[in-house]
Structure 1
Amino acid sequence: MSFNTADQHTSGAVAGTPSGAPSGATQDRADSVEVYFARLPLLDRDGMLCAYETLPRIVAREGEPADSHTPADPANAANAVQGLTLAPPSQAAVLVEAFTRPALRAALTGHPAWIDVTREMLFDDALLRLPADRVTFELPIDVGADPEVIARIVKLHGKRFRFALDNVTKADESFAKLLPYVDAIKIDIRDIAATMLPKFASVLKAAGKLLVALGVENKDDYERVHALGFDRFQGYYFTKPHGGARRASASRQALLNLLQLLASEPTVMQLEAELKLNPVLVMHLMRLANSSSFAPGRKVTTLREAINATGTNRIARWTQLLLYADGRKISLEDDPMLQLAATRARFMEMAAAVLPEAGPTEEDSAFLVGVFSFVDAVFGGPIEGALEVLRLAKPIRAAILRREGVLGQLLNASEALERGDWSAVDAACEHLAPLDAGAVSALALQAAEWAGMAERDAQAQGLVQVEE
C-alpha cells in the first residue's frame, strides 16, 4: 500500500470539524498537516487477526481560519504550504506523532502495526520514536538498493526494527540485493503470473522469509496461497460465504431464539432461562458485565446480576455480533469477522448520531445495518435470504442491499474506509454533511476500540473463562 498524500485539505480542517463530530486528524505544531488512518487486517495461517496495516492519508492544510469549512482553491495549495511561518514537519515526524496518539493505539486492539515508509522517511530519525517490537516497516519495491539504503536498514535492524518489501512481482537485481535485509515479502497475487507464484513462494520460504499474500478476496485465493505456505493474508475473503455457513461459537438457532426473545421485552427470569441454554454466550456476557465499559461498581458473579448490569439492549447487540464469532475458543479481539462486524456496526451508530436528521431510532437502525451487512457469511447463500430470516425492517434491508438513503451512504463510507479508499470516502461524505473524511476516520478508530474493549478489560481483570 502507498501513501495517499493530498496537496490540499479536502473537506474541513481539524479545528473546523463539525460540532458533535470528533476530530479525524492529528495536527503538528504548525497546524500544517493532518493525518487520517484506516486499518487493514492481516490474518495468520489459522485465520486469526495477528496485525493491522495502517493506511494513512497525509493532508496538507492551507491555513484557512479555524471556523472555515470551505475547501480552498487547489491552484493556491502549494503557495499556501510554502508560505507557512514555520517549515512543515517531515512526513515521518507527522506520521510518528499521529501513530503514537491514544486513538490509533487503542484501535489496534493490542495487535502490532505494519507501516508504509518512503525512502525519505527511512532516513528520518523520527522513526526511532516508534516501539520496535510493535511495528514492521513496509518498503516500496522502488525504494532503491544502493549502499545508503542497505546501511540504513542494517542500522535499524540493529535497533530491532523489522522490514517487509511491499508489492513484489518479480525477482530483479534490486530485489535480490534487498532480500537478505528484509524479514517479510508481500506479494499481490493479482499482479503475479499464476505459474510463477509456486516457484517464487518456494524460493522465498527456503530463504526464511515471512510470506504475505495481498488481494486475497475469496476462498479459492486463500486455499491456493495457504497451500503454497504463505504465512499472512490480506483481503476480505473471510467476510464471504465459504460454501456454507460460518461456524458460530454458539448454536446459531439458539442465538436466533434469544434475539426473538429479546425483541419481545422479556423478564429477567425469562432471559436467564434462555441464556442458561447457551454457556458460550453466558461466558461472553459475564466478561462484558465485568468490563470497565459497564462497570457496576463491583464484580458481577451471577448470571442475573450480569443481565441487570448489562441491560437487554446491550445483550441484544452482543448476541447479534456473536453470530459472527468463530467456533474455536479464541479471544474475540483475534476474531477478524467479529471485530470487523462490531467495528462497522458501532461506527454506523456513532456516525448516524452526528447527522442532524438522525435520532435514537436512526442510530439503532444504523447499528443493525452495520452488524447485518455481512450476514451472508453466517448463513451462506444470497444475502437477501439471510435478511429475510432475520425479519429486518425494510429501510435496513434497502440500505444493505441497494445502498438507499443515508444509512446506505454510511455503509458505503464504512466499506471505503476499510479498504483505505480515500477517494470513495470523500464521495460518500458528499452525502453525509457535516461528516468529512477526518471525522469518519476518527469515528472508525473509536468504533474499533469499542469492538475490542470488553474482551480486553475482562482479561485484564482476571476473569475465568467458562468452558462449554
Structure 2
Amino acid sequence: MITNAVEDPHQRVGAAGQAVAVQDEVYVARQPLLDREGMLCGFELKAHIPVVPDPDPANFTDSEADVAALKQAVKDAQAARVAVAKRAIQASAHPDAGGALAGHMAYVDASREMLFDETLRLLPPARFMLELAPDLVADDMLVSRVLALHGKRYRFVLDNVTQPNETFAKLLPYAEVVKIDFRRTQPALLPKLAKVLKAAGKILIAKGLDTQADFQTAHDLGFDRFQGYFFARPQAQGMRRAGAPRHALLNLLQLLASDPTVAQLEAELKLNPVLVMHLMRLANSSSLGLGHKVTSLREAINATGTNRIARWTQLLLYADGRKVSLEDDPLLQLAATRARFMELAIERLPEAGRDEADAAFLTGVFSFVDAVFGEPLDNTLDMLMLTRPIRAAILRREGALGMLLSAIDALERGAWSDLEAASAQLGPLTPGDLASLGLVAAAWAGVADSSAEAAGLERIED
C-alpha cells in the first residue's frame, strides 16, 4: 500500500498549551496529460500531503522558557515538514506509482523541502519533471539549488502560472515547461503569455481544461500539452461520436446480456473483426492453459467464456477510432481504471461476492458512456439494460457502488476532502487504501501486449 504515516511525529507544548503534531497518510493519485493529437503523454502525480502549521507566537509569553519553547516549536515544525517531504518523494517513487504511469513521464509537485532533501534522488530525472509552485520563495539559496539540480539533468515546470511574478522571472531560465492555469488566467492574457513563452522555446501545458471548447482554445493558441477531463465529457458532434463500429459493439453487448447461444454469439462476433482477433489471441495464450492451438472462432468462444468477451467489448466502446494503442488512449484508460478500481475496492468491503464485483466493474466501465455516444446518460444506460443499482450508482451516486464511484472521481480530481468523505462511508477502506487501489487499477489498465487478463489489456492492432 502506497501510504505513509509521518514517523515519530514531533510534539512539544509551549506555556500556552500549543502542540505541534503531525501524523497523517501521504498518498498519491494521477491525472492525465494529453498531447496535441489527444493521446496520453504523461501523468501528474498529485500527492496528499498533511499540512504542518507554524507555531503561533501569540500562544507563547515573553518569558525565557517560552522563548526557548517557541524556537524549539519552530524547529519541530520544520523537521515535520521535511519528514512529510520525504514521504511524498517515497510515495511518488513507489513501484505502484511507477506502474500507474504506464511508461509515461511523471510530473510531481516539488516543495522547497523536497528540493533540498537528498531523498529526491529516488526520482530519476529521465522519468520525473519537478513542478515549482508560484508561491515558492525564489531566494538565492533556492535558485542555487535549482541550478545545481538542473546540472544533474533534473527538469522543471513552472506550475499554476496565471501571470508573471518575481518567482516566475527568477526561475523561468531553468524551466523547460510552463503550466498555465486556464481557470484562473484572464482570457485576454492567454495569447500574450503563449506567444512570449513559445518564442522563448518553452513547452506549454494548459491546465484545468474541462470542456472541449477550452481544449480547442488552448490548441489554437499553440499549447503543447493539455491537462483536464475535457476528453471524458459528452460532445454533441466531436472526436468520439459513435460510428458504425461502436453501434456494432453495443449490439454485441445487448446480445451478451441475453444469455446467447454459441451460434448467436459467433454470428455477431463475425461483425467485429478486431474483437475476433483479440479473442483468438487470448484463447491461444498461456493464461488459459489449453495445451493446444485454437483455430476456430467457436472454439475460442467456448475456451474464453462470455464474461471475458463482455468485458473486452465494454472497454472497446471507448477505444479511439484511429490506429492508436490502447495504453495511449486517454478515455479507454480512464474507463478501464475506474472499472478495475471499482472491482478491487468492493472486494474489500464486507459480504461482497462475485456478483457484486461484476456489478462494480460494470458501474465503472459505463460511468463515461455518455462521452462515447454524445447522448443523455440515462438514455444510453437504458440501451445497455443495466440493473437498477448500477443505474442508481452512475446517475445519482447511490449505494455502495455510488460511493465507490464518488471515491474514484475524487481521486481523479485530487479532491482529498471528497475522498475522505467517501472513505467515511466505505467501512474499512481508508483514503490511503482507496488511493493505493487506484494506482493498482491504473497499472492494470495501462499494461499492453499481455495475454493474461489479470495483467491488463492487450494491444489491439489492425
**Short-chain TM bin:** 0.7 to 0.9
Q: Which of 380, 392, 401 is 1:407 aligned to?
A: 401
Deviation at 1:388, TM superposition (A): 1.4
Whether 1:362 and 2:356 are equivalent positions in the alignment is yes
Correspondences of 1:71-82 after superposition (within 5 Å): none
Q: Which residue of 1 aligns with 2:49?
A: 58
Distance 1:288 1:249 in 2: 26
Distance 1:258 1:304 in 2: 16
Higher relative contact order (CA 8 A, sep 6+): 1
Q: Which residue of 2 aligns with 1:45?
A: 36
Deviation at 1:354, TM superposition (A): 1.6
Distance 2:203 2:37 in 1: 15
Q: TM-score when scaled to structure 1?
A: 0.82
Distance 1:154 1:301 in 2: 59
Distance 2:400 2:198 in 1: 48
Q: Which of 118, 123, 127 is 2:111 aligned to?
A: 118
CA distances 1:199-257 after superposition (whole Å, capped 9, x unpaired): 11110011111111111000111111110001111111111112237256970121012
Distance 2:395 2:245 in 1: 26
Q: Which moved more, 1:325-334 or 1:119-128?
A: 119-128
Distance 2:291 2:121 in 1: 42
Q: Which of 75, 89, 109 is 1:96 aligned to?
A: 89
One-letter code of the match for 1:48? M
Deviation at 1:280, TM superposition (A): 2.0
Distance 2:35 2:292 in 1: 35
Q: Which residue of 2 aligns with 1:65?
A: none
Question: Unmatched 5+ residue regions in structure 1?
Answer: 1-22, 62-77
What secondary structure sits across from 1:132 in the alignment?
Answer: coil
Distance 1:297 1:183 in 2: 52
Correspondences of 1:220-369 after superposition (within 5 Å): 220-244=213-237, 246-247=240-241, 251-286=245-280, 288-289=282-283, 294=287, 296=289, 302=295, 303-304=297-298, 306-369=300-363
Q: Provide the aligned length of Structure 1 versus Structure 2.
A: 422
Question: Are the structure 2 counterparts of residues 298 and 33 from structure 1 closer, same or farther at C-alpha, using a change threshold of 3 Å?
Answer: farther
- Contact 2:27/2:435, CA 8 A, preserved across alignment: yes
Distance 1:380 1:300 in 2: 41
One-letter code of the match for 1:393? T
Question: Are the structure 2 counterparts of residues 328 and 90 from structure 1 closer, same or farther at C-alpha, using a change threshold of 3 Å?
Answer: same
Distance 2:314 2:459 in 1: 23
- Contact 1:164/1:186, CA 8 A, preserved across alignment: yes
- Contact 1:249/1:322, CA 8 A, preserved across alignment: no
CA distances 1:37-58 after superposition (whole Å, capped 9, x unpaired): 1111111111111111011123
- Contact 2:327/2:448, CA 8 A, preserved across alignment: no
One-letter code of the match for 2:164? A
What secondary structure sits across from 2:447 in the alignment?
Answer: helix
Distance 2:284 2:87 in 1: 38
One-letter code of the match for 2:276? V
Correspondences of 1:187-198 after superposition (within 5 Å): 187-198=180-191
Q: TM-score when scaled to structure 2?
A: 0.83
Question: Are the structure 2 counterparts of residues 464 and 42 from structure 1 closer, same or farther at C-alpha, using a change threshold of 3 Å?
Answer: closer
CA distances 1:289-343 after superposition (whole Å, capped 9, x unpaired): 5677x45376966445643453211110110111111001111111110011011
What secondary structure sits across from 1:113 in the alignment?
Answer: strand
Whether 1:201 and 2:179 are equivalent positions in the alignment is no
Distance 2:443 2:284 in 1: 17
Q: Which moved more, 1:306-315 or 1:352-361?
A: 306-315
Deviation at 1:145, TM superposition (A): 2.8
Distance 1:466 1:350 in 2: 28
Correspondences of 1:7-26 after superposition (within 5 Å): 23-26=1-4
CA distances 1:121-171 after superposition (whole Å, capped 9, x unpaired): 111122122211111000111223333222222222222211001111112
Q: Which moved more, 1:315-324 or 1:253-262?
A: 253-262
Q: Which moved more, 1:277-286 or 1:346-355?
A: 277-286
Question: Unmatched 5+ residue regions in structure 2?
Answer: 10-22, 53-71
Distance 1:190 1:248 in 2: 30
- Contact 2:35/2:226, CA 8 A, preserved across alignment: yes
What secondary structure sits across from 1:330 in the alignment?
Answer: coil
Distance 1:190 1:120 in 2: 28
Distance 1:406 1:192 in 2: 38
Correspondences of 1:434-453 after superposition (within 5 Å): 434-453=428-447
Distance 1:289 1:28 in 2: 47
What root-mean-square deviation, in Å, do the aligned CA atoms of Structure 1 and Structure 2 show?
3.0
- Contact 2:6/2:83, CA 8 A, preserved across alignment: no
One-letter code of the match for 2:234? P
Identical positions, percent: 58
